[in-house]
Amino acid sequence: MGAAGKAKVCHMTSAHPPEDIRIFRKECVSLAKAGYDVYLVEPGGTYEKDNVHIIGVGPLPGSRRERMASFSKKVYKAALSVDADIYHFHDPELLPYGLKLKKRGKRVIFDSHEKYTEQIKTKEYLPAPLRSLIAFAYGAYERHALRKIDGLVFPCLKDGRNPFEGQCRRIAFLDNVPLLEELYDYYDPDSEKWDRSVCCLGSLTRARGITQLVRAASMAGAEVYLAGNFSPDSYQEEVLSMPEASCVHYMGRVSREDVRKTLSHCRIGAAVGLNVGQYNKFDNLATKSYEYMAMGLPSIMAKNPYCDKLLSDYCFAVCIDPEDVEAYASAIRYLLDHPKEARQMGEAGRRAVQEKFNWGVEETKLLALYEEILSEK
């Protein structure tokens, strides 16, 4: 146990940047506020913030292979020195170390931010003929590991059902929804808007429909603001050399302060993933969609049964076929040319965040999972 009898908790990541919003700002800070003695082993430096002891293990390697091999081992060794009661890791390459910790008698939680068996199938850095085979092999190993550890965290259900049914003894569904104080409270309905602006924030990949967004925005006479990292790197050159790319403003990876500024100035948020891999199959929205909602932006999203159901309660978006660029362009034109209706959609999104899609709701599920694990003899 930690100081003053509190349970000692150690979160681990070998792939996420320092002070990742989900890992640090939401989960670690929530646990610290609840009285846990919280450590976070991550890339970067060592310091303390918001009552979380951050143990840095140096900069993220530039090589994916190095990160998954020697760097993940470095994270494990640093975490082992904490001697925590619960270890909570956030990357699939740490699964073998989760099992090692379990063999040492520790309580272990895997926080699966994505459905990796589906995500692997969209990874362009993997040879196309091998993607399904790698996904199958990873899935078999993941199922083996989940049977042995104490808990799993995953964002959501799939068609109302548990996608990990029978694989782990405990599961908490924690959607990656916003902290009210980070975005929602910064909303200014009278902020100056960039003319005919559409934004897309986060990971910029082919599967997330960036190519279709640029084409649609060009057709609609709109300007596109992209913030985040392209993956793979070659996709950046491909997008920025498109004939329609004169409408693109690429901002690179930006700070959370610049995220707020961008969302304050843009008129529409785009989150139209293609129907590949894990996209449009699960009962949740992209993280960026929740952020658009918190900041009062109407959204354009891919049409699927979950979104249709959600929009019957909160009409905050226009849903389209992600492959239909004409429909995409029409949705952009509609929202730009009908500011009253667009503003009503933005207000509906903010209401949904206030009532349902905020971290305060999810935090209770995280704390309940920890209490259940610690109460087991």
217 shares a domain with 230: yes
Residues 218, 322: one domain? yes
For residue range 284-331, list pLDDT tens digits in order.
999 999 999 999 999 999 999 999 999 999 999 999 999 999 999 999
If asked whether residues 97 and 79 sit together in one domain, one would say yes
Q: What is the pLDDT of residues 141-170, one digit of tens each?
A: 999 999 999 999 999 988 888 999 999 999
Number of domains in the chain: 2
Pairing of strands 52-56, 47-49: antiparallel
Are 245 and 367 contained in the same domain?
no
Range of the domain at 12: 3-176+358-375
Any idea what the CATH number is for the domain that residue 144 is in?
3.40.50.2000
pLDDT at 4 over 60: no
| Cα 342 from Cα 336, distance rounded (Å) | 8
Q: Quick one: which of 19, 203, 228 has its CA closest to 114?
A: 203
237: pLDDT confidence band, cut at 50, 70 and 90? very high
**Same domain, yes or no: 260 and 193:** yes
Instruction: Please check whether residues 240 and 342 belong to one and the same domain.
Output: yes
Q: Do both 272 and 370 map to the same domain?
A: no
Distance CA 23, CA 113 (A): 10
Whether residue 58 contacts residue 70, with contact meaning beta carbons closer than 8 Å, is answered with no
What is the DSSP secondary structure assignment for residue 247, as one 8-state letter? Answer: G
Amino acid at residue number 161: R
What pLDDT band is residue 1 in, cutting at 50, 70 and 90? low
β-sheet bridge partners, residue 320: 302
